Amino acid sequence: MSTTLHFSKYQGTGNDFVMVDDRAKRFDVADHQLVRHLCDRRRGIGADGLILLRQHPEYDFEMVYFNADGHLGSMCGNGGRCTVAFARQLGVIETDTRFLAADGPHEARIDADGLVHLRMQDVRGQQGIDEYGVFLDTGSPHLVRFEPTGSLAGLDVFTEGRALRNGALFREKGTNVNFVEAPVAPGQPWQVRTYERGVEDETLSCGTGVTAVALAASRHGAASPVQLRTPGGELQVAFEAQPDGSFTNIYLSGPATFVFEGKV
């Protein structure tokens, strides 16, 4: 990689990413220290993750995602939506695309209002974990825990999320943890706060997280499409629930916004 790195910054409901056009494959994916530095909010650009957009012979592009800790991550829903918007900015796509991510191929489209609709992988059910909540894999592992009405705003997400993320059930690989509050009236969104592994802190939003929440909430009466509100903004998840407990045709929809560009 050259000594000068050109980048763009994107955010999706507050979940922010350093985006790099790496179609020439010059970025050293083994340089974890560089990724950590670029994502550092005090010494670098600052982001929840870094994403490379690369060429692929069978898809419009490939998305390579790194967590803020510098290591390659699993699927990132908001990152995927931001990568689609970045690909359009680069002229790689127009409105519809098919691309490859860590968990396999994805389809997406950008509508006239700039919303990105990203098709997620099918989910083959959910696993109840005693008093801890519900576990699902939506491209990344997620624990969903439903909280009493009125308690979410005052919840210590960092402390409780970190304890569950590193708990005995998940210690080997860890998990993301979502704390959820149901709507108090029809038509209102589900409230979600998420502790993300790899970032090791609460983030303003998590795309695979709200997807997991929407699917888990369907067992609590939520009907597709589910509206969800994170600290960073609102997202929508549509899906088809199957008789065997699986979920298909899952779409994560929301904004993906260019913030700034530069070079370091």
The residues assigned a catalytic role are 76, 206
Q: Is residue 7 classed as helix, strand or coil in its secondary structure?
A: strand
Comparing CA positions, the residue from 199, 131, 202 lying closest to residue 169 is 131
Q: Are 127 and 201 in contact (CB under 8 A)?
A: no
Q: Are 139 and 103 in contact (CB under 8 A)?
A: yes
Q: Are 93 and 84 in contact (CB under 8 A)?
A: yes
Provide CB contacts within 8 A for 223, sequence distance 6+: none
First to last CA, the chain: 12
DSSP letters of 76-143?
A: -HHHHHHHHHHHHHHTS-SSEEEEEETTEEEEEEE-TTSEEEEEPPPB---EEEGGGEEEEESSSEEE
- CA distances to 28, 53, 126, 131 from 3, rounded to whole Å, are 12, 19, 46, 51
Q: Is residue 160 classed as helix, strand or coil in its secondary structure?
A: helix
Q: Are 45 and 263 in contact (CB under 8 A)?
A: no
Residue with tokens 């706060």: 193
